[in-house]
C-alpha cells in the first residue's frame, strides 16, 4: 500500500505491506500516512482487547503513536455532554466510550486518530464530523457512515476497517538504525482472573476494571500514557 508520506512529509515515497496473505486493516477511504497506520494498528489492538476483557465497548484516541486517552462505555457528566454538543438525550455506548477517551486529554486529542471496538453508528459518525480528528479504525460501519465520514476534511479523512479475525505473526521484528530486534509476540490473555490474587485487602470491581484497562494499555504497542478511568 502506498502511504501519503512517511514519518515526516518530506519522507516520500513510503509504503506498508502485510506480512501474510491479508492485512489486519483495509482502507475504505482516504490515503493514510505512516503515522496514521501506526496509530490505527496500536489503537485497534488496544480497544479490541479491552472490549473482550471487560465486556463493554471501548475506544481510544491516538496521537503521534501515543494514546492520549482510552476508555470503556459509561456515563457522561454534564460538562462532557455540553463540551461535545451532545444534547440532553442519552448517547449510545460507543459514542460515550469515545467521548470519555478523548476527554482524558482534549488538547493532545486534537487531530487524533480514533479507534473503537464496535461498528461505527450514525451517532458517532456525526460527532466525529464535528471534531478535529484525522481518521478512524473500526471493525465495521453502519450504512451511510462511511459516506458521511468521507466528506470530512475536504475528503482527506481516513476510514479504515479492521479485521477482528486477524491473527498476527508469532514473532515481532523491528529494525532501528541498522539493528534488527526479534521477540515472540506478547500473546498473554489479560482478564479479571489476571488480578484475582490480591495480596492485601480487597479491590472494588470498578478499580479492577481500571487496573485491567491499564494493563491492556501497557502491553499495546506504541503506548506511553496512563489510561482514563474505566468507571469514572
Q: What kind and span of H or E run contains 80?
A: helix 78-83
CA dihedral 46, 24, 9, 154 (to 10 degrees): -90
pLDDT score of 77 more than 50: yes
Report the range of poorest mean pLDDT among 13-17, 145-149, 208-212: 208-212
Give CA 185 to chain center in angstroms: 19
pLDDT band at 230 (very low <50, low <70, confident <90, very high): very low
Name the nearest CA neighbour of 213 among 120, 100, 77, 131: 100
* DSSP-derived pairing of the beta strands 133-138 and 158-162: parallel
CA dihedral 143, 230, 225, 177 (to 10 degrees): -50
Q: Where are the domains of the chain?
A: 2-7+23-165
CATH fold of the domain at 2-7+23-165:
Cytidine Deaminase; domain 2 (3.40.140)
Q: What is the mean pLDDT of the chain?
A: 89
Single pTM value for the model: 0.87
* Residue 2 burial (10 A CB sphere; 0-12, 13-18, 19+): exposed
pLDDT score of 70 more than 80: yes
pLDDT score of 137 more than 60: yes
Residue 86 region by backbone torsions, left for phi larger than 0, else alpha for psi between -120 and 50, else beta: alpha
Give CA 201 to chain center in angstroms: 33
Q: Cα–Cα distances in Å, from 191 out to 66, 155, 196? A: 23, 39, 9
Amino acid at each position: 500500500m502506498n502511504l501519503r508520506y512517511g514519518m515526516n512529509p518530506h519522507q516520500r515515497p513510503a509504503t506498508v505491506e502485510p506480512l501474510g496473505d491479508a492485512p489486519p486493516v483495509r482502507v475504505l477511504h482516504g490515503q493514510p500516512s505512516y503515522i496514521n497506520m501506526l496509530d490505527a494498528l496500536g489503537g485497534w489492538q488496544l480497544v479490541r482487547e479491552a472490549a473482550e476483557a471487560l465486556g463493554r465497548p471501548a475506544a481510544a484516541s491516538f496521537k503521534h503513536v501515543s494514546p492520549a486517552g482510552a476508555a470503556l462505555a459509561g456515563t457522561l457528566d454534564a460538562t462532557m455532554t455540553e463540551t461535545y454538543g451532545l444534547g440532553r438525550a442519552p448517547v449510545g455506548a460507543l459514542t460515550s466510550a469515545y467521548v470519555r477517551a478523548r476527554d482524558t486529554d482534549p488538547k493532545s486529542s486534537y487531530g487524533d486518530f480514533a479507534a473503537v471496538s464496535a461498528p461505527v453508528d450514525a451517532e458517532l459518525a456525526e460527532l466525529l464530523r464535528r471534531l478535529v480528528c484525522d481518521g478512524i479504525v473500526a471493525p465495521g460501519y453502519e450504512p451511510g457512515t462511511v459516506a458521511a465520514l468521507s466528506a470530512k476534511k475536504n475528503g482527506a479523512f481516513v476510514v479504515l476497517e479492521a479485521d477482528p479475525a486477524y491473527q498476527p505473526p508469532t514473532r515481532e521484528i523491528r529494525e532501528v538504525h541498522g539493528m534488527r530486534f526479534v521477540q515472540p509476540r506478547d500473546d498473554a490473555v489479560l482478564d479479571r482472573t489476571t488480578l484475582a490474587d490480591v495480596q492485601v485487602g480487597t479491590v472494588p470491581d470498578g478499580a479492577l476494571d481500571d487496573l485491567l484497562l491499564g494493563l491492556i494499555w501497557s502491553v499495546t504497542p506504541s503506548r506511553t500514557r496512563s489510561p482514563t478511568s474505566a468507571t469514572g
